[in-house]
Chain A
Amino acid sequence: MNDILLEIKDLHAGIGGKEILHGIDLTVRRGEVHAIMGPNGAGKSTLGAVLAGRPDYEVTRGSITFNGADLLAMAPEERSWAGLFLSFQYPVEIPGVTITAFMKAAVQARRKARGLDEMKTSDFLKLLKEKMAFVKMRPEFAKREVNVGFSGGEKKRGEIFQMAMLDPVLSILDETDSGLDVDALKIVADGVNALHTPEKSTLVITHYQKLLEYIRPDIVHVLKDGRIVRTAGKELADEIERDGFDRF
C-alpha cells in the first residue's frame, strides 16, 4: 500500500475567474492528522471545496493525487466512493429528504459503485442507529429532514454521523469547530478521534486552535493569501494561539 494518501502539487484554483489558491503543495501520509490554519480569506474553504469537487470552483494549474488516482478527473460522487469526505462548514438543508432516505441513497450508491449488492434494509437501519448513537444524536433525528431546523451543534454532529456512516479514508473537516460550544466540540472531536486509524488521514481546516486541543495534529500548516507559508509540528498551533497570524 502506498504510504502517501493525498498529494497536492502546485495547485492554483479559484472561483468566478478570480484565483484564490496560488500554488499549494501538500503531502498527507496514511495515519497522519494535518491541520490547516489561517485567517479569514486565506483560501481554507476553497481548498476544501476543490478537494471535494465543488463544480463552481475552477482549478487552473497543478494536480491532486488521491490514493494513486487523479482526483481532479473525478466527479464529487466518485471522490466520495473513493473514500474522501468533506465535513461542510455550512451543512446544507435539504427540505423534504429525511436523514434516513439521504443516507440510504448514499450507502447504496457507494455499494453499487463498488460492485456490492444492496444492503438489506434491516442491516442499514441497524447501522444508522449505531452511528447516530455514536455521535449522541437522538434516534428521532432519523426521520428529520436533512439539517432542516437543526442547531449549529446538531448540524456539525450530523456531519460526523455521516462521516461515520461512510467510513472515509480521508476526512476533511472544514471549520467544524465554528459555532460550537465546548460540549458539542468535544462530541465532534471524540467522534473524529474514534474513527481515526493508522490507514486513515484527517485534514482539519480551522481558524482557531481550540479544536486542535481535542484533535491532535501531527503537522500544522499556515495558509495565508492562498499559499502555505509555514509547516511545522503541533507547537505551531500554540504559537498561532499566542501571536496570531500577522507575523506570517
Chain B
Amino acid sequence: MGHGNYIDPMKDVRPGPGMTEAKGAERYTVQAGERLELTYVVLPGESRDIDVSVDLVGEGAEAVLRGVFLCNADERVRIHVLMHHRAPRCVSRQLFNGLAGGRADVLFNGRIVVAPDAQQTEAYQENHNILRSETARVESRPELEIYADDVKCSHGATVGRLNEDEQFYMRSRGIPEDEAQFLQMVSFLAPVTSVLPEDGRKKVEAAVRTL
C-alpha cells in the first residue's frame, strides 16, 4: 500500500461492561491507494449503536470492517454499515460474527452501494450469528445497490445454533460439554478475533465463557 494508510485494528476494544462510549455516526473517506481497517468488539453487558459509513472515493481504495458481538443479557445492539463504492477498482470486505444469548436484541444492517462509475468493484459482506438462548433475537439485513455492471459482489448471512454433531464428537473424545461449546464459539469468532492483539483476544475469550 502507498502512503497515508489508515489502519486502526483496535478501534474499539472495550475494557468491559459499564464503560461509556462515543455515540453517533462515524464517517470515513478512503482515498486512492489507501486502506481503512476497523475492528469492533462488543462485549456482554454493552448495548451499542454502531453506525459507520465508508466512502471509497479514490481508485483502488480498500476497506476492511470486522466485528464481533457477544450478548448474554438484555443488550440491544445495532450495527449499521454503509459501504459506498464511488471509484473504480476498490475492494471492501465486511465480516461481523456474533453470539446472542439471554434476551439480547441484535440487528445487523449492512448496505453496499456501488456507484455507476465504480467499475471492477469487489465488495463482500458476511454476517454470521449463533443464538445461545431461546429468547435472543437476531436480525440480519443485507442490502445491495449496484449501479455498475462489472462488479464482484457477495453477501452471506446466517442465524443458527452450535452444531450438535460437533459437540457429540468432541464429548465422545472426553471434552466436557461446556469446553466443547467454548471451542466451537471461539473458532466461530476466530476469523475476526485473529486480528486482535493478544489482550483483546483474551478479553473476548473470557467473555465467551459467560455465554
Contact = CB atoms under 8 A, between A and B. Distances in A.
Interface of A: 52-56, 75-77, 79-81, 85-86, 88, 91-97, 101-103, 105-106, 109-110, 113, 162, 166
B82 to A, nearest CB: 29
A148 to B, nearest CB: 11
Interface string B146-186: 00000000000000000011101111111111010001101
Contacts of B179: 105, 109
The B contact surface, by secondary structure, is helix
Contact of A55 (B168, B183, B187): B168
Given A92-B166, A94-B166, A77 B187 contact: no
Q: Most B CB atoms within 10 A — which of A54, A77, A91, A110?
A: A77
Contact of A77 (B165, B166, B174, B188): B174
Given A55-B164, A96-B188, A76 B172 contact: yes
Given A54-B168, A55-B168, A77-B171, A96 B176 contact: no
B206 interface: no
Contacts of A76: 168, 171-172
A107 to B, nearest CB: 8
A92 B163 CA distance: 10
A102 B187 contact: no
A77 B177 contact: yes
Contacts of A97: 183-184, 187
Contacts of B168: 52, 54-55, 76, 92
A117 B174 CA distance: 16
Contact of B165 (A80, A86, A92, A110): A92
B190 interface: yes
Contacts of B188: 96
Given A96-B188, A101-B183, A77 B169 contact: no
B177 A109 contact: no
Contacts of A85: 172
Contacts of B165: 92
A91 B173 CA distance: 12
Contact of B169 (A56, A79, A91, A110): A91
Chain A CB within 10 Å — which of B164, B171, B174, B190 has the most? Answer: B174
Contact of B175 (A52, A79, A96, A105): A105
